[in-house]
Structure 1
């Protein structure tokens, strides 16, 4: 073990594989030294496992109704109680993790690359390209995310797919700003000038050299934004513009449970707790990644 560790931590790696493995080892060790980061990673891991194995974890159907069991309090048979239609809330929360994870992943896959590319192009070319792209970006940034998402969903129509598109449209500007700021720091660097002298096209410089350098900052911001994405999706579901019944989306579950909040508190409280816990998990993990991946914090690992 000692020899393997010394090989990973070698000051002069003999290959790119050794260098990459060494960096991964250092980052992993630094993350494990932060208790909140470990807690966040565990929460996200539980979310992923729950979403993947929901049919085997949930004791009941997410949509099956049993009016004879309506509004039962938490107990041995129904751990989180039942709702107004007799559906098991624990099972619906478990299946709801699939919807939440799907929204988070699809929004990240759509918004992050789009914002990264726009920001890199804007920072690299400058001039009127920069003014045009950043002008559009500032327009989106000037509007509250939830209000803008509501406008897009109202135009596209309610539904989970349209909600994902709307959230992605409202999320990309922050990533574009970060990518532009990163690009401006090394746009005039010597290695960029050397690539240009060798005849490298602007597309090659941006895709092969600039975008990879912006990846660390983007990963941090995406992880930190996951909580906001979850809350925005829950807000759309709460207003009836996200996932439509009978899908067990957490925001929609809270909306239906608000009518019983005084007497049957568990109907709205249980999915609310799920939203809070998952959001905290992403925040804890994002804070840890920021401390480790931020170049200014490099001396920590």
Structure 2
């Protein structure tokens, strides 16, 4: 670490992080991270959502060690067994352990969430910032394309893309990502319109900075806060769309353990063996709720008007 970024003193670390006059960019950056964490940690519901998502990551990572059985092992003698004993959450119509399939299904859900966010968020950010910064015919073309995608319900549009691409997890991810980026583009464009005529942008232009450099070094970083909040809140909808595709047989294909497909196979037993469909439904509910709780907390923490000192 350079001399311009002094280490915090052994005492008074909190005061060093919350200093109104940071001595370096490093200290200022750590101070912003600390203020954001304080805002998040002061909200119990946000911490609950974060805990559920961390549990999802851990469960997905250690599923082979946590699951009592392999996800596709069949025990026909114990098919549709109730909860308890060797099968804490019961078994399905083929005698497969529901708990094991839930644990392995968390991997599919987490993979879909990460891939959709990685694909759709950069696309929406790029379209929105370019449209907002350059304006004119560039904005007209890009935003009309955005409006076309937003004119259709996301699930219907995803179904159309999957019908063209074919069933499967990979195609489901592509279809969901294609339908998820338009809201991000609108948010990025609105944020860019508030910054493009700011004094610091005009000063960069006077100093000879190019448009693309201004976009990448000044505009895009300022849009990241709103994008992170919107992506987090949208993940609940992504989970529901992925589960809907799996329910219709267009997502993960048998015998892959996927929560939406598990609900589909259990719908015929809802009256007598309710746990077959209820357990994956509860898992979807908890993860969706966790993303909403975390998104609400991030929205408050990243809003300078609500950030606590």
1:2-37 deviation digits (Å, cap 9, x = unpaired)? 611111111100011111111111111111110100
Aligned counterpart, 1:263: 272
Instruction: Say which of 68, 89, 106 aligns to 1:97.
Output: 106
Asked if 1:282 is matched to 2:281, the reply is no
Specify which of 135, 140, 144 is matched with residue 131 of structure 1.
140
Matches of 1:95 and 1:294, distance apart in 2? 37
Partner residue of 2:66 out of 57, 66, 84? 57
**How far apart, CA to CA, are the structure 1 residues paired with 2:79 and 2:11?**
60
Partner SS, residue 36 of structure 1: helix
Q: Distance in 2 between matches of 1:226 and 1:33?
A: 23
Q: Secondary structure at the match of 1:295?
A: coil
RMSD between aligned alpha carbons? 0.9
The Cα offsets for residues 38-90 of structure 1, whole Å up to 9 and x where unpaired, read as 10000000000000111011110011112111100000210110001110000
Q: Structure 1: how far apart are the matches of 2:199 and 2:171?
A: 44
Q: Counterpart in 2 of 1:187?
A: 196
| Match in the other structure for 1:166 | 175
Deviations 1:80-125 (A, max 9, x none): 1000111000000000000000000000000001100100000000
Q: How many corresponding residue pairs?
A: 300
Within 1, Cα distance between the matches of 2:242 and 2:303?
Answer: 29
1:234 aligns with 2:243: yes
- 1:13 aligned residue: 22
More helix by share: 1
Structure-2 separation of matches of 1:200 and 1:68: 72
Aligned to 2:51: 42
In the aligned structure 2, how far is the partner of 1:247 from the partner of 1:170? Answer: 24
1:291 corresponds to which of 288, 292, 300: 300
Give the TM-score taking structure 1 as reference length. Answer: 0.98
State the alpha-carbon separation in 2 of the partners of residues 269 and 32 from structure 1: 32
Secondary structure of the corresponding residue to residue 71 of structure 1: coil
Unmatched 5+ stretches in structure 1 = none
Q: Distance in 2 between matches of 1:26 and 1:297?
A: 11
> What corresponds to 2:212 in structure 1?
203
Partner SS state of residue 12, structure 2: helix
Alignment partner, residue 86 of structure 2: 77
What is the rounded CA distance, in whole Å, between the counterparts of 2:277 and 2:29 in structure 1? 46
Which of 253, 258, 271 is the equivalent residue of 2:262?
Answer: 253
For residue 295 of structure 1, report the CA deviation from its aligned partner: 2.9
Partner SS for 2:74: coil
Following TM superposition, the consecutive aligned residue runs of length 4 or more in structure 1 with deviations greater than 6 angstroms are none
- SS of residue matched to 2:256: coil
3-state DSSP class of the match of 1:296?
coil
Q: Give the deviation of 1:296 after TM superposition.
A: 3.1
The whole-number CA distance in structure 2 between the counterparts of 1:11 and 1:45 is 33
Unaligned runs of 5+ in 2: 1-9
